[in-house]
Amino acid sequence: MTVGDPLSGIACAAESKEPDTKKSEVSEPKDPRELPKPINTKGSVVEVIKTSERSWKMERNGEPFFIKGVGGSNYLDVAASFGANSIRTWGVDAKTGELLDRAHQNGITITVGHWLGHKRHGFNIHDAKAVEKQKQALLAAVRKYKDHPAVLAWGVGNEVEIGQDGDAKVWQVINDAAKAIKEIDPNHPTVIVIAELGAKNIKLRMIQEHCPDIDIVGLNSYDGADHIVKRYLDFGLNKPCLLTEYGPPLHPRDHFGMVAEPTSSEKAQIYRKIYREGILTHPGICLGGYSFVWGNKVEMTDTYFGQFLASGERLAQAEVFHELFEAPTPTNRAPQVQSFLAEPQSRIIIKGSSGKMKLNVIDPDGDTLTYHFELKTELQGTVGGDHIAAKKNLAEFLRHANPQSAEVEITGAAPGKYRIYAYAFDGNGNAATASASVVIKKPVSTLPAPPMTLPLTLYSDEKPTSAYRPTGYMGVASSRIKMRFDSPDNPKAGPTCLHITAPQNAWSGVNWQHPANDWGERKGGFNATGAKQLTFWARGAKGGEVITFGLGGIGAHFVYHDTAKVSREITLTREWKSYSIDLTGKDLSRVKTPFTWGAYDDKSAIQFYLDDIRIE
């Protein structure tokens, strides 16, 4: 991802994210006499020194310097107390000088980011005048701030390559800026910042070919952050790296297709794992890192990336850094989330009824906790972490007895998808968070389905007697499913059979549906009461293929659903065999999905054959 406003002081990535500085509190020292003495009284000298083949170290004013960093410009006193020695910014603006002073007073350095235009924001990398204009603005900032003792390094752009990583001009422009920076300021290294490594490591290949004046490669990574340095090392680029952004995964989804947000306590574990396994295990190649984001940002959810709340409370994912940076334990600790439970467990509430959520939290100091809940519609997706506004709190649909209650009732909301946010506060500047998706559904249909004529043929060489159609393609690779309904390849009966190919390394499947392409929102299905079994013939192309067959695929939370669901996992042979699935005793009053198959193999695509599929 990346940012929308280059002058925000914080922007973002991974691809990344742009913290919403309007939502963040700035930590201002109350009395200058309380501040630590300056580290230095003049500009620092920072060097990246090669110590051996594929091994480097950073020195600042002649002393070893490993970056214990956080991304953002807020809460610098807290960062310093937790052992941080550096922050990262994404752009230069009118507040940069004040920020450098404040960082220096707190004993913190800054990798000062210079924003370079992005393609999706309309910047044309091939417009020579525009490129030169942004370069001159960048160099003016370097001249202005290069002798400030808080400057550690210069960040040259942030994920500029997104949408154009194969364009050599992109990398040449970045290198040209880095080269010009070093001519003005040889005392601070240049850092390019990229979102992951790119398909087939294209970004590393481009840096290798076009960026000789880049000293350090900054890596923005989330889902793969704990092993990105290993992948970088395996590529063999002759430059050190650092993690310029890392945090919780970018693409988690629950069974509703909505964001599956970890709790604040789970996020602390994520940061711990990335720092220990992704950064510390690669000394000499990785010079440190910056967590994302030391502040608050609305993206994916209101609380997904922020290590603090918008109101300033510190969360577990911030507190964990005192441990990682080997600083003293805070005198008061953040509450820890044990669970966020739903009733009903499915988090599906039928319109006219209510649902309940309970946040289970413990406080390590025994502080009395207070709770707050919010119900909102889901945030829209963003491109590259661009700024979006938070949604309105639909407080009128929540019943929360009092601030001391860890339970809340959801009632009265219109059908749709929502997110319930839960907050626990300890009264001492700490908090815990959790969120979960909630779906409000229309009342389940009680309309009877028309009777099914038995036996019912779903597939054969005969003219089909069924209104059902195999239209319910499933799985992330569903477009790669192939079904040939007139295959002459050794049919069981008649001239043809059904030949199915399921893709490698991706679960996939197909539902027979009525009406076609319906997943429970439209009237349909038939009453198969009296049916005894689902029968079919099957064989594998090689033998040993494991396929799950069944009836029923639409859950009871949908308006028009299957009243029964039954399945059987079968290992196929190369020879045709007859199989059956027992339907006796099942509620078959509405069968929307009379036949379904699903398969997965991580080693190869699966090929199998079906013939004579019937309900009898």
How far is residue 13's CA from residue 291's CA, in Å, rounded to a whole number? 11
How far is residue 205's CA from residue 183's CA, in Å, rounded to a whole number? 25
Q: Is the peptide bond before 455 cis (omega within 30 degrees of 0)?
A: yes
| Predicted local confidence at residue 557, as pLDDT | 63
What's the pLDDT tens digit per position in 96-112?
A: 999 999 999 999 999 99
| Alpha-helical runs (H) found in 442-533 | none
All structural domains of the chain: 21-26+46-331 (3.20.20.80), 337-441 (2.60.40.1080), 456-615 (2.60.120.260)
| Predicted local confidence at residue 519, as pLDDT | 84
- CA distances, 534 to each of 576, 591, 593, 607, 608 (Å): 17, 12, 12, 22, 18
The closest of 510, 456, 454 to 485, measured between CA atoms, is 510
Contact 592, 524 (CB under 8 A): yes
Q: Which residues of the chain have pLDDT under 50?
A: 1-40
Coil, strand, or helix at residue 301? strand
How far is residue 538's CA from residue 520's CA, in Å, rounded to a whole number? 28
Computed over its alpha carbons, how large is the radius of gyration of the chain? 29
How far is residue 233's CA from residue 223's CA, in Å, rounded to a whole number? 18
Q: Report the predicted TM-score, pTM, of the whole model to 2 decimal places.
A: 0.73
What's the pLDDT tens digit per position in 401-411?
A: 999 999 999 99
Query: CB burial class (10 A; 0-12, 13-18, 19+) of residue 64?
Result: exposed
How far is residue 139's CA from residue 329's CA, in Å, rounded to a whole number? 41
| Predicted local confidence at residue 382, as pLDDT | 72
**Is the four-CA dihedral 595, 601, 605, 609 of positive or negative sign?**
negative
